[in-house]
Structure 1
Amino acid sequence: MKKLTRSQYKKIAGVCGGISQYINPELDPVIIRAGWLILTLFNPLMLLVYFILALVLSDSPYETV
């Protein structure tokens, strides 16, 4: 069973990296980050959603840097 977690490969909190790993492990997190940025420009509440996800999601126990 797949579980949404924060990624160890992170720029800020690892939320976008975790979402990209959840959708498809071969998906580049830059695509998710760019999409999230575009959504945030049109809807600033997405920034609040990002920080809530950063607090709620646990760290990924499987990845090492």
Structure 2
Amino acid sequence: MGSVYRSTTDRMFAGVCGGLATALGLPSWLVRAVFVFGGGIFIWIYLILASVLPSE
């Protein structure tokens, strides 16, 4: 697993899913689907990660 950061190129909102996808070696659409369909806790996780992760 690589360094986790907010992506500046693969982003829709804050770049959290794009950065996580790169670090995990997964397609970004899959990570986005987990956040969208995962439920309310994933919204809070996304907001926390968006505020603490640095940009690439």
Question: TM (normalized to structure 2)?
Answer: 0.85
Mapped pair 1:10 → 2:11? yes
Give aligned-pair identity as a percent: 33
Query: Is there any run of 5+ residues in structure 2 with no aligned partner, and where?
Result: none
Shift of 1:45: 2.2
C-alpha offsets along residues 4-42 of structure 1, whole Å, 9 cap, x if unaligned? 001112001111101100011xx32111101211112xx
Who is 1:63 aligned against? none
User: How many pairs does the alignment contain?
Assistant: 55
Q: TM-score, normalised by structure 1?
A: 0.75
Q: What value does the CA root-mean-square deviation take over the aligned residues?
A: 1.5
For structure 1, the 5+ residue unaligned runs are 61-65
2:56 aligned with 1:55: no
